Amino acid sequence: MSMFCYQCQETAGCKGCTVKGVCGKTEDLAKLQDLLVYIVRGISAVSTKAREVGVIDKNVDNFVVESLFATITNANFDKNVFVSRAKEGLALREALKVKAKNAGADLANLPEAAMWTGETEEALNAKAGIVGVLATENEDVRSLRELITYGAKGLCAYLKHAKALNYDDDEIHGFMHKALAKTLEDLSVDELVALTLSMGEYGVKGMALLDKANTESYGNPEITKVNIGVRNNPAILISGHDLRDMEQLLEQTEGTGVDVYTHSEMLAANYYPAFKKYSHFVGNYGNAWWKQTTEFESFNGPILMTTNCLVPPKDSYKDRVYTTGVVGFEGLKHIDKNEKGEKDFSEIIEHAKRCAAPTEIERGEIVGGFAHNQVIALADKVVEAVKTGAIKNFFVMAGCDGRAKSRNYYTEFAEKLPKDAVILTAGCAKYKYNKLNLGDINGIPRVLDAGQCNDSYSLVVIALKLAEAFGLDSINDLPLHYNIAWYEQKAVIVLLSLLHLGVKNIHLGPTLPAFLSPNVVKVLVDNFGIGGITNVDDDLKMFLG
Ligand code: SF4
Ligand code: SF3
């Protein structure tokens, strides 16, 4: 079988990557990622049985979380990582079986994924070629199994960030193992649909956990003007979503003469009180992930990738890119944590000192920091603006950015929105309109950025508060519309979370996920009013009724 991957929005021909990933993933890497997902499903089957007799293994939980996170689009391109993870997973699974058996677990009738074992690299590679997505023949079952798995991948990303700050929730791990184990069973389409919605329920819990972890560790994001220009010092650029890495980098660079800038999703770090206090934290450089091939070039200094999205680096700046956490790429230097969970970034700091200061690519400021606490503090002002008719509509335009030209739709959509509409955003989707100068309504900016994709949770909290302020029973009764851009699997868990909360009529673009079969799309349309996008003028008419 050739490779087959259709987990992201940029999948080839809106159908599936079969020769090489549009993201740069090679066939053997794609298959090894499939193998790791297969092993994780098998481990989850054993873990579910083990949990029934009270055996919880944190090493197993962490392994599942980090392994699925590593298979997210643009996270890890290093084949060696997947080979060693596959071996580690098989060993962990067998050790867990022994513990579970000793505690009285019934391990009869485990699925093949929990029994298979590959001794050699050849055996691993051979298995990797036959356990991918297409191993499930029924198109609808395949679609739902993958939807659940991609939701789990997104959830794992958020659990990993929470864990880095010592926040964890055993109930979420327990559910996730059960759900992954069920993707190996012969469930009906109805059962799989129910499981998909339960994944959304745990998505909300996972995002709430991460929100708590981030805000208790670093304070509540507050309205912040973020500098997008440069200074004259050598500097480090940090990208991805991991705030614990951000904290350690700022601590270690203080007083060294090396500045720090954020890129893409790390922009949100500028909004946290705990980070704003550092005078060498200059601001944000550049835009969303996909522009890194030019922006890493002109940055001149070293870059630290803490999570996705990494684009296979060009030779011209490859020696300046460092990875950490679940990110990987053959040939790039990887910084691991020590036993205490701490990371030593001194090599990157020394590297920065040998580099020129960043080349200026833009000047000015952007405003952000409108997470739930900050917006709720402004609630009276917002409610007043709605009551007087100054604000007539809110548009949730959260999600991801990407390379596709069709995404210019979102820039045009933001530009053509009536002046009495406010955009609520989170995730890297914002880069399509956060520098447009859309103005404000009675001092409330027309683009309210809550932060990273995981901060979409904030948008839900805000919507619930608004519904409460207006005495409405449901957030669906608010003048609030959802025009969401997706790209990778974290957006999938955000979508499932919104569905679980009962949000209706979400529009997803620039294309609907290729992994949704026509019948699954029909279920989503019939029950949730999910739709795609067409063109800006028609869609505006549709949204504004
Ligand atoms: Fe293709 Fe996306 Fe899969 Fe990469 S992650 S191989 S671009 S579907
Ligand atoms: Fe962006 Fe990769 Fe999804 Fe966190 S950085 S939103 S795409």
Residue 154 alpha carbon to ligand 1 centre in Å: 15
The pLDDT tens digits for 506-524 are: 999 999 999 999 999 999 9
Atom of ligand 2 nearest to the CA of 490: 3
- For residues 455 and 326, give the distance between their C-alpha atoms in angstroms, rounded to a whole number: 20
The pLDDT value recorded for residue 535 is 98
* pLDDT tens track for 117-170: 998 989 999 999 999 999 999 999 999 999 999 999 999 999 999 999 999 999
pLDDT at 1 > cutoff 80: no
Atom in ligand 1 nearest the alpha carbon of residue 74? 5
Question: What is the distance in A from the centroid of ligand 2 to the CA of 433?
Answer: 15
pLDDT bucket at 374, cuts 50 / 70 / 90? very high
- Closest residue by Cα to residue 22 from 90, 74, 87, 68: 74
Ligand nearest to the CA of 430: 2
What mean pLDDT is predicted for residues 82-108? Answer: 98
* pLDDT score of 431: 98
Residue 319's alpha-carbon distances to 173, 301, 313, 349, in angstroms, are: 37, 10, 9, 14
Residue 491 CA to ligand 2 center (angstroms) comes to 8
Angle at 458 between CA 212 and CA 271, to 5 degrees: 75
Task: Tell me the average pLDDT of the chain.
Answer: 97
Which residue's CA is minimally distant from atom 6 of ligand 1? 21
- Return the minimum-mean-pLDDT range out of 43-47, 69-73, 118-122: 118-122
Shortest CA distance to 288 belongs to which of 263, 260, 313?
263
Helix or strand (DSSP H, E) at 294: helix 292-299
Does ligand 2 come within 6 angstroms of the Cβ of 238? Answer: no
- Cα of 484 vs centre of ligand 1, distance in Å, is 20
